[in-house]
Amino acid sequence: MRVLVTGANGFIGSHLIRYLVGLNKYDIFALVRKKANINLLSLINDKINILRIEQNFKSIDKAFSRAKPDVVIHLAAKTFVGHKPEDIKPLISSNILFSSLLVEAMIKNGVKCLVNTGTFWEYTSGKSDYSPFNLYAATKIAFENFLKYYAVAKDMRCVTLKLYGVYGPNDPRTKIFSYFKKSLSPEKPVLFSPGKQRLDLVYIDDVVDAYEKAARYVYKKKDSIYEYFFIGSGKGVALRRIASIYEKCVGRPLNIEWGGLPYRNREIIYSHADIRLAKKKINWSPKFDLRKGISKMLEVEERG
């Protein structure tokens, strides 16, 4: 199977590429912007095909005509937790315009299968009732509505994986564990919210496994579909409890001032992924609980 991955130079994308390379049964094409930094792919760039593009249809179409993929895994996105007026254009340009041009290039080149990426930020209540946490989440759901059209009108097989809190080793993004690492210093406490929000965190190895299974799922489909699956641990764990598990894994106390910061506006207080459909349809379930995932993360980072 020939697989084209967008966002291949990001945290999740680079882990996915390495995972697919390790399986040794895919021809892999990494679609990256012309000036993108691809350092995260440096150890495997001789085992994949890197296609550099501009954000226009002609450039994307040329990449597709060269790659001739069977399945596209779409991870590329522009993310802002909060936004300023000047962020609106890049959000729409990346998450809606580029994504739509990508699908148009698929259609022109006879590519029917797409695994798209969504986010649990689409659901501030922690349930499946749509209520976006931020404008980024709103753009992601907007593109999903585009996909519903493409699936029916253009006979496509589309699946969206709605990711919960992905974590893993050497994550360059500013996430919970980067603050935990910072709080290992005894000099002054790191300020946190009261810490009662319950989070669903899923280890990166489980996430890339979900993408590979979803790719095989859409590839085998004969009829047009649009479906989505939640990808998480299936459990909501209080932030303070996560900190406690991290302390035990690292063997040192965290210097945290709980309640030093207020909850964010529209904070998602309770989240957990309903993974039953992912289990049923793509035969996926997480293998890492928090203790096992954090331990592996620390072990990989220690090895360097």
The pLDDT value recorded for residue 185 is 82
How large is the average pLDDT for residues 239-265? 96
In the chain, what are the domains? 2-168+201-234+272-287 (3.40.50.720)
Give long-range contacts, CB 8 A cutoff, 24+ apart: 30-36. 30/4, 30/5, 31/4, 31/5, 31/6, 31/60, 31/63, 31/67, 31/76, 32/8, 36/9
pLDDT at residue 126 greater than cutoff 60: no
pLDDT at residue 291 greater than cutoff 80: yes
Whole-structure pTM value:
0.95
For a pLDDT cut of 90, what percent of the chain falls above it?
82
The pLDDT value recorded for residue 42 is 80
Of 4-18, 37-51, 242-256, least confident by mean pLDDT is 37-51
How far is Cα 79 from Cα 24, in angstroms, rounded to an integer?
32
pLDDT in tens, 188-206: 999 999 999 999 999 999 9
Of 11-20, 111-120, 181-190, least confident by mean pLDDT is 181-190
pLDDT in tens, 133-179: 899 999 999 999 999 999 999 999 999 999 999 999 989 888 999 99
pLDDT at residue 125 greater than cutoff 70: no
Please provide the average confidence, as pLDDT, over all residues in the chain.
94
The pLDDT value recorded for residue 187 is 85
Using alpha carbons, list the distances in angstroms from residue 226 to 111, 181, 184, 218. Answer: 15, 40, 45, 10
- Reference 10, options 69, 79, 71, 82; nearest CA is 79
The pLDDT value recorded for residue 122 is 87
Total H helices, total E strands in the chain: 10, 13
Q: Per residue in 232-249, is it b (16+ CB within 10 Å) or e — as a string?
A: bbbbbbebeebbebbbeb
- Reference 44, options 30, 31, 60; nearest CA is 30
Computed on alpha carbons and rounded to an integer, the radius of gyration of the chain in Å comes to 19
Using alpha carbons, list the distances in angstroms from residue 252 to 16, 175, 231. Answer: 31, 19, 31
Give the CA-trace dihedral at 149, 150, 151, 154, to 10 degrees: 120
How far is Cα 131 from Cα 124, in angstroms, rounded to an integer?
6
pLDDT at residue 127 greater than cutoff 70: no
- Whats the size of the chain, residue-wise? 304
pLDDT in tens, 70-85: 999 999 999 888 898 9
